[in-house]
Amino acid sequence: MEEKFKQVAQWIINSKRIVVFGGAGLSTESGIPDFRSPGGVWDRYNPEDFYFQKFISSETSREKYWQMATEMYEPMKKAQPNLAHLAIAEMEKLGKLDCVITQNIDGLHLKAGNSEEKVIELHGTAMYVSCLSCQKRYDRDEIQERIKKGVKVPYCDDCGGPLKPATISFGQSMPERETQEAYDRSSLCDLFIVIGSSLVVQPAASMPLVAKRNGARLVIINRDPTPYDDMADLVIHGQAGPTMASILEYLKMGLMPHESF
């Protein structure tokens, strides 16, 4: 395993444009459940109630949605970045990160210290709320305060439109700018590192393919096998946090002048 960590560190040192692609497995060590796992929130709510079209068309659906969203937000708000988030933030400080593309909505890369222009949130973020009519953005905590005070469905102060967490719901289209940027950066990078994603949700899952086709090296760090393992230059089946912490150690060693390993 140590040889693999060293190899990834060496590739990071030798690469000019590095894209990290993160999935749910990157945040589970921060105590954020993978919502698709058994025991997750979908065992208690019916996903069909949360399709975007229902949110738009029914006050009852909006009320249910906000109940569930409030339940999901509490642990997310308290969650702290783990070793993997911290290692990725450190990569940025070392000038070794083009961007991190994430499927997560927990805002933990920003909490860990990555700058906003380096983080592409493919599925939006739970840290903000936006008005579906005028797109005005609100801080999530401000809206949760209203819910705490008894508001069941919050509406926009400016235009009266329905407010919804700035996440992408079932049936809602992917954000155009973020998706395009994620594809562009994937195609331009020379090292693509997947962390904690099983690479089954589209369109995200096709990004490693785009990177690989354009000549990038592909590294996959995930607890379980993924459909792209065969194509990868290196696969580590392990936990995101400890793996990234070890790679970071070798990276720092390797970047020090007159040191090599």
Which residues contribute to the site for Zn ion (CB under 5 A)? 131, 133-134, 136, 156, 158-159, 161
What is the smallest separation between the CB atom of 133 and Zn ion, expressed in angstroms?
5
CA distances (Å), origin 201, targets 18, 23, 197, 240: 22, 10, 9, 19
What is the smallest separation between the CB atom of 63 and Zn ion, expressed in angstroms?
19
Q: How many CA atoms lie within 13 A of 29 on its CB side?
A: 22
Catalytic residues: 123
DSSP characters for 168-180?
Answer: PPTTSPPPHHHHH
Amino acid in position 250? Y
What is the smallest separation between the CB atom of 155 and Zn ion, expressed in angstroms?
8
The helix/strand/coil state of 243 is helix
What is the smallest separation between the CB atom of 143 and Zn ion, expressed in angstroms?
13
Q: How would you class 173 by CB atoms within 10 Å of its CB: exposed for 0-12, middle for 13-18, buried for 19 or more?
A: exposed
Q: Which is nearest to 91 in space by CA: 26, 17, 6, 28?
A: 17
Query: Nearest 5°: phi and psi at 61?
Result: -65, -40
Closer of 169 and 198 to Zn ion (Cβ): 169
Closer of 48 and 139 to Zn ion (Cβ): 139
Closer of 163 and 199 to Zn ion (Cβ): 163
Closer of 157 and 184 to Zn ion (Cβ): 157
